Structure 1
Amino acid sequence: MSMTSKPEYVATAFTNAWNRHDMDEFASLFASDANFVNVVGVWWKNRSEIEAAHRATHQTMFRDSRLEGDVSSVVELAPGLASVHYRWTLTGASAPDGSPAGVRNGILLLIAQEGQSGWHIKVAQNTDIVPGAIAPAGAKS
């Protein structure tokens, strides 16, 4: 079984395209009608919007960034449809004033759909892990 035949491929490919700052490859990971909500709640509603936003930020605040992480969960939702949780760490990003933004951590949820050409991201929801946030009793972070 090739890596592209598994839903977690999209998280690995997302990271690889991000780290090469290759927004053509990045955009190709998404279905044409994909939805993506970023860490501050901006909602892009198709591949073109997702690509344009990421292309702009990879020319500025994410130009020198590096994304690393691990797939922490893959859940089959239906045949050919899966959720993928990816815990990430981002380094090298800049703040709006150009100063170093510091290290960020988060969780990316991808809903991946299998098609004839492999898995594509249909829905993405990104969440920053807020340092010092208090989780409810019994919750695992």
Structure 2
Amino acid sequence: MPEDLVAIRALTQCLAEAWNRNDADAYAALFAEDCDYVAFDGSHLKGRAANARSHRALFETVLKGSRAVFEADIAVRFLTPDVAVMHGYGSILLPWQRTVAPSRRSLQTYVVKRDADRWVIHAFHNTRVRPLKLPRGWMLRLIVGFMRIRAALAGNAPPARVMP
């Protein structure tokens, strides 16, 4: 299993190398044919071909010359001997950036599976790190009071309808 940990953690290095060459096909090749890829903006790509198409368009336009940077601390938890969940932090540096802006730091979740002789990414979810800043003092009391009034006024009202 130690060699599996090395191989799984190496996926982020392979992703970075492909990204840093702006090579959408090499990037997408690290994913399963039927992968699920959720980007930081909430877009959901289904399949390797969609992944390659999307990244090709990005590499040819707004992310041309960008670089992927992954932090070394990568957590891996095996669900079975052939399936693992991996969490790690990463960022994209735009061509003029030398350091990672805190607003561009993301937490990624990967589901990886051993397919034949290699580990492949089957699912990927990218979320920007945005620590919740709770109000304090009088502002917190005001918000809590407002929420209590709203709840009291709602009474036994049915739950709000979720928009499709």
When normalised by structure 1's length, the TM-score is: 0.79
Deviation at 1:3, TM superposition (A): 7.6
1:55 aligns with 2:51: no
Output aligned runs, 1:75-114, within 5 Å.
75-92=77-94, 103=101, 104-114=104-114
Higher relative contact order (CA 8 A, sep 6+): 1
Q: Helix, strand or coil for the counterpart of 2:133?
A: coil
Distance in 2 of aligned mates of 1:93 and 1:121? 27
Deviation at 1:77, TM superposition (A): 1.2
1:126 aligns with 2:137: no
1:20 aligns with 2:43: no
Percent identical: 24
Distance in 2 of aligned mates of 1:93 and 1:126? 21
Indicate how the Cα distance of structure 1 residues 10 and 33 shifts in structure 2: closer, same or farther if over 3 A, else same: same
When normalised by structure 2's length, the TM-score is: 0.69
For 2:117, the equivalent position in structure 1 comes to 117
Q: Which runs of 4+ in 1 moved over 4 A?
A: 1-5
User: C-alpha offsets along residues 77-134 of structure 1, whole Å, 9 cap, x if unaligned?
Assistant: 111111111201221169xxxxxxx83111111111111130110000001113x533
Give 1 or 2: higher strand fraction.
1
* Structure 1: unaligned runs, 5 residues or longer: 95-101, 136-141
Give 1 or 2: higher helix fraction.
2
Deviation at 1:30, TM superposition (A): 0.6
* Structure 2: unaligned runs, 5 residues or longer: 135-164
Q: Helix, strand or coil for the counterpart of 1:7?
A: helix
RMSD: 2.3
Distance in 2 of aligned mates of 1:117 and 1:27? 18
Distance in 1 of aligned mates of 2:115 and 2:127? 27
Asked whether the 8 Å contact 2:5–2:76 carries over to 1, the reply is: no
Query: Higher Cα Rg: structure 1 or 2?
Result: 2
